[in-house]
Amino acid sequence: MKMNKIFNPFHEIAGSKALFLGLLAMLATGLIGYFSHTHFPDIISIKYIPVSLPLWYYFIQQLVIWLIPSVIFYLLALLGASSSVRIIDVFGTQALARYPYVLASITGFSGSMKRFGEYIIEVAMEQNQEASISSFDLIMSILIIVASLLLVVWMVGLMYNAFRISANLKGARAVGLFIAGFAVSFLVSLFTGIQLYNFLQ
C-alpha cells in the first residue's frame, strides 16, 4: 500500500492540494539546483554544469518543464476522455509528479560527478594522455548515474499515473495518448530549454 502511494498518490492528492505541493517541490528543486549547479533542460534530463547561472533561470526552467507537458496532456485529455476533465487536476498532478527531482537536484553536490565529467571530456578530446580518475570517484559517479536513471523512471511513472487519473483514461488509450504527449512534450521542452540557455550566453 505504501509503495503504491509512492508511485501513485493521485487518488488521495489532486487538484489544488497537488498543485500547491508540486509547486513547493519545484521551488525546492530550482533552489537546490542553483547551489548544486544541476539543471533540467527538458522534462526528463538531469545535467550538471560548472558555470554559474542566475537563480531565476532555475525557477523559469522548472515552470517550463511543468507547463509544457501539462498543457499538452490537458489538450489530449480533452480529446480522449469520455468524461469532463478539470484543468486543475491535470496541472496539479503533473506538478506533483515532479517531486522525485528534488532528490535529483541534490546529486549535483557530488564532486565525483564533476571530476568524472572532466575525465570523460579529457579522454574524448584526447587533451591529456595521462588522464585518470580515482576508484572512489568512478564508483560514486556510477552510483549517481544509476540513481538518476531510477529517479527518471520514477518520475515518468508518476507523470503517467497523473495523466491517467486526471484524464479518467484507462488501458491502451491512456498509454497511447501518454506516449504521444510525452514525446511532443520532450521535444518542445528541449527546444525551449536550448533557447532559454542561449538567451543567457
What are 74-103's pLDDT values in tens digits?
999 999 877 788 999 999 999 999 999 999
Q: What is the pLDDT of residues 56-81, one digit of tens each?
A: 999 999 999 999 999 999 999 999 87
Query: The dihedral of CA 69, 184, 153, 32: what is its sign?
Result: negative
Helices and strands, counts by H and E, the chain: 8, 2
Angle at 9 between CA 169 and CA 163, to 5 degrees: 30
For residues 122 and 167, the model is more confident at 167
User: What pLDDT does residue 151 have?
Assistant: 95
- Determine what percent of the chain is predicted with pLDDT higher than 90: 62
Whole-number pLDDT of residue 108: 84
Query: What is the DSSP track for 130-157?
Result: T----HHHHHHHHHHHHHHHHHHHHHHH
pTM greater than 0.85: yes
Average pLDDT, the chain: 89
Q: List the one residue out of 59, 56, 90 whose CA is nearest residue 73.
A: 90
Q: Rounded to whole angstroms, how far apart are CA atoms 107 and 128? A: 27
Res. 2: pLDDT tops 90: no
Domain ranges for the chain = 2-109+136-199
Cell of 144: 549517481
Nearest Cα to 11, choosing from 23, 1, 25? 1
Pair type for strands 47-48 and 38-39 = antiparallel
Least confident of 14-23, 53-62, 113-122: 113-122
Element (H, E) at 110: none
pLDDT reading at 46 higher than 70: yes
- CA angle, 154 then 13 then 6, to 5°: 30
| 192 Cβ neighbours under 8 A, 6+ residues apart | 64, 68
Query: First vs last Cα of the chain: how many Å apart?
Result: 48
**Of the candidates 163, 170, 141, which has an alpha carbon nearest to the alpha carbon of residue 43?**
163
Looking at residue 116, what is its pLDDT?
Answer: 78
Give 137-187 pLDDT, tens digit per residue: 788 888 999 999 999 999 999 999 999 999 988 889 999 999 999 999 999
Share of the chain above pLDDT 70, in %: 93
The pLDDT of residue 117: 73
Report whether pLDDT(114) > 90. Answer: no
Residue with grid cell 575525465, as numbered in its chain = 119
99 within 8 A of 21, measured Cβ to Cβ: yes
